[in-house]
Structure 1
Amino acid sequence: MELTQYVENLRRELTTAAEVGGEDARALADRLLPPLDAAVRLTLLEALSAAAEEISAELAPGYVDVRLRGGAAGFVVTPPPAPVPAAPAVADAVAGLGDVRLPVAEGDDAAMVRINLRLPGNIKALIEDAAAAGGLSVNTWIVRAAAAGLANEGRLAAPAAAAVQQPGRVGQKYTGWAR
């Protein structure tokens, strides 16, 4: 991006404005314009750099750099890295997590709790990939995966349904003695 045209436009505008002020203003503008050339170029570069920072903030983890080469400003765009395709099992797990409905917590159950979870590095990486593929945070993905696992076991049920269950019966399994 050549900056000279923008500097020349500003020079013309200042010369036009100085002509309104008469001969003294025109002479003053002629003396001020050459030193202003470098200041205008620097100001333009600062504006372009600020714009590149704003774009980089939206593009993160990608970024935009402004580089000056021979009086011309150039942009170098580094896009964010392409997501690593998830393994088929992980992709299936992510697809299934969208359908999980979490029970509405009430009273004391509405409070959030924190746990520490230790995972092997490869499983953590798979979780991160699956969460990114689903557009979810790792925390949200783990909560949905836990809810899906509990739902599959029949343990995640509404409180009213749990109260109706017969004694001796847990989820989809029966307990007790049989002959």
Structure 2
Amino acid sequence: MDLTPYLESLAADLAAAAAPGGPETARAAEMLSQSLAASARLAMLEALSDAAAEITTRLPDSSVEVRLRGREADLVVSTTAAEPEAAPVPPAADGDLTRLTLRMPESLKAHVEQSAAAESISVNAWLVRAVTAAVQRPAGPPPGRGGKRITGFAQA
């Protein structure tokens, strides 16, 4: 998807809005649109990425990614076999998504990337699915613990 037509449309709208202000205002609008082109492109890419992430959360066995090739953005849909324990993320009441900065050891990051690549999904989609599965697990003792507790004392 070439984003240039959208940027050109934005510049044309800015020029049209500035035209009644005279030649100086029109020149200022032109300079402003040229300097904002990179920021506007980045904002459009963020909107596409957020849309892809939201669509991914609503698809039970597919993921949508935004891939950049030069100055073009490609939307790629990947289908994966759904795992029984990995339910789709329930949409938030207001439908908004949020960004989260996650810090992890490099070795864990490498394992996450390998797991996501093995399932042909993005790291973000893989992490969303893993977190969803973790929060939807029934409450109980952590894995590996019996959940039985004995209290009291013993005499030898």
What is the TM-score with the length of structure 1 in the denominator?
A: 0.44
What is the TM-score with the length of structure 2 in the denominator?
A: 0.50
Q: Which has the higher helix share?
A: 1
Ranked by relative contact order (alpha carbons within 8 Å, sequence separation 6 or more), the top structure is: 2
